[in-house]
Amino acid sequence: MSASREPGFHGVFPYLVSPLDAAGGVREGVMVALVERLIAAGVHGLAPLGSTGEFAYLSNDQRLAVARAVIRAAKGRVPVVPGVASTSTADAVAQTRAMVAAGADGILAILDAYFPVGEAGVAAYFTAIAEAAEGLPVVLYTNPNFQRSDLTLPVIDRLSRVPNIRYIKDASSNTGRLLSILNRCGDRIEVFAASAHIPACVMMIGGVGWMAGPACIVPEQSIALYEAARAGDWERAMDLQRPLWRINELFARYSLAACIKAALELQGFEVGDPVAPQTPLDAVARGELAQALGAIGAL
């Protein structure tokens, strides 16, 4: 087992964009450059095919191509935890098996739903992914702002008892819900902050890190914040958090992938436009983003 497959995900896991060319293929050179930049900055892992990775707009072939490109670029230096998402349990299981075969170090499990799904169906979906992951760690992803069928506290409690479901990234923006999860599940499951939460606050209540798109464009600042929180230096953590929160605010205001792709373009990475029918940021939004990045030394 490689070092990257040892247990204990923690720290800063940027949600990677999916840089595609006009034909829909992965811009592998751009992906390699981005991965190198992030690993050099000291990130603790990489999460392709999250919301910022536009998973909902990609075919399964494109998703697998993105994951393979990141895994090749990472070269085992940090864990790669790609997203798996579907409205169908069978398809989610097939995706998971493909990601495992490609060399993933864990699975970020997402439930798409057209019709609402009851608690039993939600639990069964994530359990099936965990079984297909062949013992690799599974991170539950929940975002009630986008999902028709959320993970309730009883379902999270139930899933925390599946041996390899060990983490959750909750993007509800309700930090009290995170504390409820920690109180209810104890050490069976660990919590990552999302961009909808204030990372310093999540780590203060027991979170283990930050999985979010903005970490793609401000990795050094994100890592400094994490290190301050891990050291219990909350005064320094908040000094770092206050200016960094502006990036989160813009991320929430504008289309997720469009915002991060625009920022990366400003930083010199030719990641391309968001997948249609999404649209790129306009000049005004790009100006706001450039100003915010410049203010924290990220541009």
State the catalytic residues.
141, 169
The angle at the Cα of 214, spanning 196 to 281, to the nearest 5 degrees, equals 100
Phi-psi domain of 54 (left: phi exceeds 0; alpha: psi -120 through 50; beta: other): left
Q: Is the dihedral of CA 14, 79, 178, 134 positive or negative?
A: positive
Paired tokens of 107: 């699975």
Residues 6+ apart with CB under 8 A from 91: 60
Give the integer Cα–Cα distance in Å for 109 and 165.
10
Classify 211 as helix, strand or coil.
Answer: strand
Per-residue burial over 4-42, b if 16 or more Cβ lie within 10 Å, else e, is: beeeebbbbbbbbbbbbeeeeebbbebbbbbbebbbebb
